[in-house]
Amino acid sequence: MAPNIADQFNVDSSALTDFVINQGNGVKGLSELGLKALPKPYIQPESERMCMSKIIPQHKESIPIIDLSNPAEPTVAKAVCDAAEKWGSFQIVNHDVPFEVLERIQEATHHFHGLPAEEKHKYSKENSGTINVRFGTSFSPKAEKSLEWKDFLSLFYVSEEETAKYWPPVCRDQVLEYMRSSEVVIKQLLQILMNGLNVKEIDETKKSLLMGSVRTNLNYYPICPNPELTVGVGRHSDVSTLTILFQDDIGGLYVKGNQGEDSWIHVPPIKGSLVINVGDALQILSNGRYRSVEHRVVANGTNNRISVPIFVNPRPNDIIGPLPEILEIGEKPIYKNVLYSDYVRHFYRKAHDGKKTLAYAAVA
């Protein structure tokens, strides 16, 4: 690599934007230039970086691992509801999504991100034929003071026709297979969580609120020259009801400890498991009983990492607020009713900022 490229990117941030965003090279392209130092726009303020003193050792605390082989067992239901209340995050093992499906989505994620830049660029905001398919980098580059070391392909499912026409052929079938295979487990978990709120039936209205739309992201975190200076993904909670997350065996996902302080717990990769995160929409619907989990991803200096979250959401046109069953028993609403697409738009228009998106729906 010519060292002057890194220097050029440091003095001319438009050259960096041009290379990473406009030419579609992403941070994967930057990583492959063999940069010796992290370009300045990726340097995060110290408050946003992870350091060892913030990490709670695994033997002291870890999020629950729940065996779903007998989902009808009362002990399983209790474990799921307790985890959603206490942590907002848990891992599931012996679930219904076949191991081979996870292997295929992992391979397809590498295939997509391994395409030449000009191929991936066809799916950028400017070039993609639909707003529901987007290849991007960082989270919301125009809104961020410091960029994130991540590329992603984001696929919002609308119809088979749109999928056939606009989704990248290298990963289309594998994403659809992963989405479909996860439906059973999504329904099992949501049913358990609703029972825990005394909501007995998931009728059509609730089905829409809880799982009316689905977005799948194929995340790629390339090897980073100075991983300690940047982040893979900054602190945030998802705006979903639930997120079903496949991660490969590299590690690097952290969830916030539940004592309120700035301490973080690693989510260790477990072969065949899925991470389940409670998102803001479920926190709002449950009037704060289930809590969305704040989480972040560190950058890695030696390995490329992938993850594939399925964000299970209300429909964009749904109004979300505390469920009537909760208010009927006399609970005071701590969230107001908001249009879900307004909530998501608010989330997307700012940099990751912990759980601040929720203030948008809070009762004044």
Ligand X SMILES: CC(C)(COP(=O)(O)OP(=O)(O)OC[C@H]1O[C@@H](n2cnc3c(N)ncnc32)[C@H](O)[C@@H]1OP(=O)(O)O)[C@@H](O)C(=O)NCCC(=O)NCCSC(=O)/C=C/c1ccc(O)c(O)c1
Ligand Y SMILES: O=C(O)CCC(=O)C(=O)O
Which residue, judged by CB position, is nearest to Fe ion in the bound state? Answer: 238
CB 133 within 8 A of CB 166: yes
Nearest to 268 by CA among 53, 61, 54: 61
40 dihedral zone (left: phi>0; alpha: psi -120 to 50; beta) = alpha
In the bound complex, what is the minimum distance in angstroms from residue 297's beta carbon to ligand Y?
5
Q: Number of helices and strands (H, E) in the chain?
A: 13, 14
Q: Which stretch binds ligand Y (CB under 6 A): 6-14, 111-119, 245-253, 338-346?
A: 245-253
Is the Cβ–Cβ distance between 253 and 236 less than 8 Å? no
Residue 125 engages ligand X in binding (rule: CB under 6 A): yes
> With CB cut-offs between 5 and 8 Å by kind, which of ligand Y, Fe ion, ligand X, none does residue 240 bind?
ligand X
Counting contacts by CB under 6 A, is residue 75 touching ligand X? no
> What's the longest Cα–Cα distance across the chain?
67
Binding mask 271-310 for ligand Y (x = CB under 6 A): ------------------------x-x---------x-x-
Query: 136 is in the binding site of which of ligand Y, ligand X, Fe ion, none (Cβ under 5 to 8 A by kind)?
Result: ligand X
8-state DSSP, 22 = I
Q: Which of 156, 164, 175, 162 is nearest to 215 (CA)?
A: 156
Residue 200's binding partner, choosing from ligand X, ligand Y, Fe ion, none, with beta-carbon cut-off 5 to 8 A by kind?
Answer: none
CB 14 within 8 Å of CB 119? no
Residue 350 makes contact with ligand X by CB under 6 A: no
The one among 48, 238, 280, 318 contacting Fe ion by CB under 5 A: 238
CB of 208 closer than 8 Å to CB of 315: yes
- Does residue 106 touch ligand Y according to CB under 6 A? no
Distance CA 314, CA 324 (A): 16
- Please give the angle made by the CA atoms of 227, 232 and 238, to the nearest 5 degrees: 155
Task: Give dist(CA 297, CA 82) in Å, integer.
Answer: 24
Nearer of residues 191 and 247 to ligand Y, judged by Cβ:
247
Q: How far is the CB of 148 from ligand Y (least distance, A)?
A: 10
Q: Which of 60, 142, 145, 271 binds ligand X (CB under 6 A)?
A: 142
Site size toward ligand Y, by CB under 6 A:
11
Site for ligand X in 238-297 (CB under 6 A): 238-240
Binding site for ligand X (CB under 6 A): 125, 131, 134, 136, 139-140, 142, 152, 154, 156, 213, 215, 217, 233, 236, 238-240, 311, 313, 316, 341, 344-345, 348-349
